[in-house]
Chain A
Amino acid sequence: MNVLLAVLWKDLVSEWRTRDRIVSMLLFSILVVVVFHFALPADASQLLQTGAAGLLWVAYLFASVLGLNRAFALELENEALSGLALAPADRGWIFLGKAAANALLLFLVQAVTALAFALAFDVGLGAVALRFAVVMALGALGLSSVGTLFAAVAVRTRYREVMLPLLLLPVMIPILLGAVRASAALLEHGTLPSAELRLLVVADVAFLIVSFVLFEYVLDE
């Protein structure tokens, strides 16, 4: 438990000092939103109302991949990852610390991007803000848990940046589906559908447990 907090603190402090990931994730995700503006047809207001959730989550997905890659690139400097592997600590806690840091950063990026999106495209978020945040958080948790596991693997392969999305995306679909549909329902009729919520929670829990257990093997040689 101590180790979890230590790792979380270390990641957040490093991030605060360099602001490396947060800036690039934010910039990237807002850029994606801007690109959507140009990529969609001129009279896209209808499309935006119904497709807003999907567009946002695509932006979130890409931003999270970016952030996850950098999170472990940092650990490779000075072989810090080996430093973690040497510790007598239970590696599951190290995993949770990193996943928590990643989730927090992602959530921050999600919030700011959602705000920017709402402002830029005049999409009403105010009424559903809190529940929207819950969906974002659940999505961020799921993405970060299995994302952290896969990033630890991907970063030690030959094409590290490319490897992570290849590994992550097919596996991410349940979370993406649940989050997009829940968000869309919120934006459209202001209701939070229980089926989607259940899917998100189940997927989150399943991925969290599996990643927690499997991380042990990822730090070895």
Chain B
Amino acid sequence: MTDAAIAARGLEKRFGPVAALRGIDLDVPVATTLAVLGPNGAGKSTLLRLVAGLARPSAGTLRVGNPSDDRRRTRGRVGYLAHASFLYPALTARENLIFAARLYGVLDPRRRAAELLEAQGLAAVADRPAGGFSRGMAQRLAIARGLVHDPSIVLLDEPYTGLDRAAAHALTGRLRELRAAGRTLVLVTHELSRACELADRAIVLARGRIVHAAEGPGLALDTLERAYLASVESAA
């Protein structure tokens, strides 16, 4: 357990009487990619929020990152890309990134912002207010913001939403780069094909529980698809 980037035992999250997550046991080794699949309402986003530190577990244990780090340091090591973009519409793309960089204590925020803008193909619109961005552009900017502090653990909640072919392709490339650089990734996605493409391991959540786990040959698309449908059906 000590060498896993993320480790959960008996993790539970309740909202009043409703249990969004129950009995989650999970190990995500460092530098691996985990795909989290499941139907809507299964608890995928809740799991990610817990790992990101935005919510506290109702029961069980959850360790993220280095056990000797305190909460603040751990926050500095995690990058979280949610459905919401965390962007300020009145600020330009560049300013949004500079602000995020300063928030995370990144050295030389201007240079970092320029780098990221370039990498995400946003250099042309760098000085336009983020409020005017199209869905795809905003998503790309949000991705840049999430990575501004070069986190060792990256959490992505359905990052492909709103991206066109080219942008999706670029994102996949980016994720591959992060993998190659030894980052730990947790990817929540609807599309099984993404999981097969990018992940080392996949879990399927349904009604708050892990109903299937797959890796290696289990991550071939048709195998995964069959297992997914079967496990989700039986949980319903």
The residues of A with any CB-CB pair to B shorter than 8 Å are 2-3, 5-7, 9-10, 13-14, 17-18, 74, 77-80, 82-90, 220-221
CB-based nearest A residue for B75: A88
| A residues in contact with B56, CB < 8 Å | 220-221
Q: Does B195 contact A (CB under 8 A)?
A: no
**B172 on the A face (CB < 8 A):** no
Q: In the bound complex, how far is the Cα of B74 from the Cα of A175, in angstroms?
A: 39
Binds A, one of B35-43, B85-93, B226-234: B85-93
Complex CA gap A2/B88 in Å reads 19
B107-133 vs A, CB cutoff 8 Å, 1 = contact: the mask equals: 000000000000000000000010000
Name the residue of chain B whose CB is nearest to the CB of A16.
B90
Are B72 and A88 in contact (CB-based, < 8 A)?
Answer: yes
Given contacts A14-B88, A86-B78, 9 further A-B contacts (CB under 8 A): A3-B102, A6-B99, A14-B91, A78-B87, A78-B88, A82-B84, A86-B52, A88-B73, A88-B104
B residues apposed to A, CB below 8 Å: 52-56, 72-76, 78, 80, 82, 84-91, 95, 99-100, 102-105, 129, 145
> Which residue of chain B has its CB nearest to the CB of A10?
B99
Give the residue of A5, A6, A17, A90 whose beta carbon is less than 8 angstroms from that of B90. A17
Contacts of A86 in B (CB 8 A): 52-54, 75, 78, 80, 86
Which residues of chain B are near A74, meaning CB under 8 Å? 88, 90
Complex-state Cα separation, A146 to B90, whole angstroms: 26
Known interface pairs A82-B54, A86-B54, A221-B55. Does A2 touch B102 (Cβ–Cβ under 8 Å)? Answer: yes
Which residues of chain B are near A221, meaning CB under 8 Å?
54-56
**A83 contacts across to B, CB distance below 8 A:** 86, 100, 103, 145
| Given A10-B99, A90-B72: A18 and B90 interface contact (C-beta under 8 Å) | yes
The contact sample of 27 A-B pairs, CB cut-off 8 A, is: A2-B102, A3-B103, A3-B105, A6-B99, A9-B99, A10-B88, A10-B95, A10-B99, A13-B91, A14-B88, A14-B90, A17-B90, A17-B91, A18-B90, A77-B88, A78-B84, A78-B85, A78-B88, A82-B86, A85-B54, A86-B53, A86-B54, A88-B76, A88-B104, A89-B72, A89-B104, A221-B55
